[in-house]
Amino acid sequence: MKKIVAVSTLALLLAGCNPGDQEAQDNSKTEQANKSADEKATSDNEKSDAEVAKEKEAKEAAEAKKEAEAKKEAEAKAEAEKKAEEQAAADKKTADEKAAEEKAAADKSAEDKTTEEKSSDASSTEDKAEDKSTDKKEDGKTDSAQDPEPAKPSKPESETPDVDKSNTKADLSLGELVVVNKKYSLPIDYKPSDLVVPNVSFSYSGVLEQSYMRAPAAKQMEKMFADAKADGVTLNAVSGFRSGSRQTVLYNNYVARDGKAAADQYSARPGHSEHQTGLVFDISAPSVGNGLTAELGDTKEGKWIANNAAKYGFIVRYDRGFQSRTGYTYEPWHIRYVGVGPATQIKNNGQTLEEYMKVGH
């Protein structure tokens, strides 16, 4: 071994190299190799960190995108549910409105039918009362020696406009003292604005057009009915306001049934009915079957009306014996509101409304 080293050393010396320098060179190469390896390792580590960061960033971006899509989907779902709820509410509202309309239509139909039936019943009651009155007259009985009541037509209307006289417009500015008769008429479409249903007993149930009266008159009639009851007198309201259109229907029906000449003997032509003023009410009593008959005047109830109506502002518009002065036959049931003062004076002086107002009939 020593021999080999010696030979190597000798070879180096012959080549002009110092054995120490060679060792240094070898060490330098080793260090460079180690440095390169370290640098490569560092570079590899740095590259690995960047890739990790990039991958993390990509992952976070993907998750964010996924969350955004999920949020968007949830919002879309919520919006769809909201629209569905709104549509369901709208459908329910439409269904409810339709049901309400159908119910209202059904109620109106039922009300119209009831009104028609009640009107028919009221007419039937009045017809029976008139038939009863006519039967007694056929037996030779009269209401009064002063002014006998002729046999009345089959309908309760007793107004008989004189069709030969000129027609004059009623003066509505007179208010409660307006005169409506054969000569003076109201516009067909006239209707008072203060109509109410008086709180009194009626001869029928329910509320009809004829249940109404002007407020001031209704208030006084309530007092009159209450006082009559306190005196042991039972009164029932039968027929109040009647529109011009209703009067037209009634009159035309009577003409179609009986002819114009006959109809004019018991039914007012449109516009000539005092009922249209809203200041009139036909009243009766159970003792005469709540009928509109001259017999009422001879009953306890009829006499109470004649003696006390003026205290409440009413007059018996077509009183006994006044036919030639009013143009109408005796109607003890037909009371007209004119106010307490005028009513008292008219009664005390034995006047008609036409005479009090100094107008013709």
- What is the set of domains in the chain, with CATH numbers? 142-357 (3.30.1380.10)
Q: In this structure, how many other beta carbons lie within 10 angstroms of the beta carbon of residue 297? A: 22
Q: Which residues contact 161 (CB under 8 A, 6 or more apart)?
A: 181, 182, 264, 268, 269, 272, 327
Q: For 203-214, what is the mean pLDDT?
A: 97
User: What CA–CA distances, in Å, run from 297 to 198, 283, 287?
Assistant: 23, 11, 11
- Higher confidence at residue 17 or residue 185? 185
Q: Encoding tokens for residue 58?
A: 């990509």
| Model pLDDT, residue 287 | 97
Distance from chain centroid for Cα 253: 31
Catalytic status, residue 209: no
Asked if the model's pLDDT at residue 111 lies above 60, the reply is no
Residue with tokens 């993390």: 56
Collapse the DSSP code of 280 into the 3-class scheme (helix H, G, I; strand E, B; otherwise coil) and give the result. strand
Q: Specify the 3-state DSSP secondary structure of 361.
A: coil
Give the long-range contacts of residues 171-177, CB within 8 A, separation 24 or more. Answer: 174/357, 176/216, 176/217, 176/279, 176/337, 176/338, 176/339, 177/338, 177/339, 177/342, 177/353, 177/357
The per-residue pLDDT for 278 is 98
| β-strand pairing of 213-214 with 314-318 | unpaired
Q: Distance between CA 102 and CA 96 in Å, rounded?
A: 10
pLDDT band at 104 (very low <50, low <70, confident <90, very high): low
Cα–Cα distance, 223 to 145 (Å, whole number): 33
Give the number of C-alpha atoms closer than 13 A to the C-alpha of residue 106, restricted to the C-beta side: 6
Q: Annotated catalytic residue: which of 79, 331, 354, 355?
A: 331
- Cβ atoms of residues 115 and 208 within 8 Å: yes
- Is the model more confident about 259 or about 199? 199
Q: What is the per-residue pLDDT for 134?
A: 36
The pLDDT mean for the chain works out to 78
User: Which one is predicted more confidently, 253 or 91?
Assistant: 253
The helix or strand, by DSSP H or E, that contains position 333, with its residue range, turns out to be strand 331-337
Q: What is the pLDDT of residues 258-279, one digit of tens each?
A: 898 777 766 788 999 999 999 9
pLDDT at residue 69 in the model: 83
| Predicted local confidence at residue 170, as pLDDT | 92
Among all chains, which residue has been given the structure tokens 């003409």?
255
Output phi, psi for 29, to 5 deg.
-65, -40
Take residue 140 and report the two structure tokens written for it: 């030779």
Q: Residue 305 has what pLDDT?
A: 98
Most confident segment among 74-88, 143-157, 269-283: 269-283
R_g of the chain, CA atoms, integer Å: 55
User: What whole-number distance in Å separates Cα of residue 181 and Cα of residue 273?
Assistant: 7
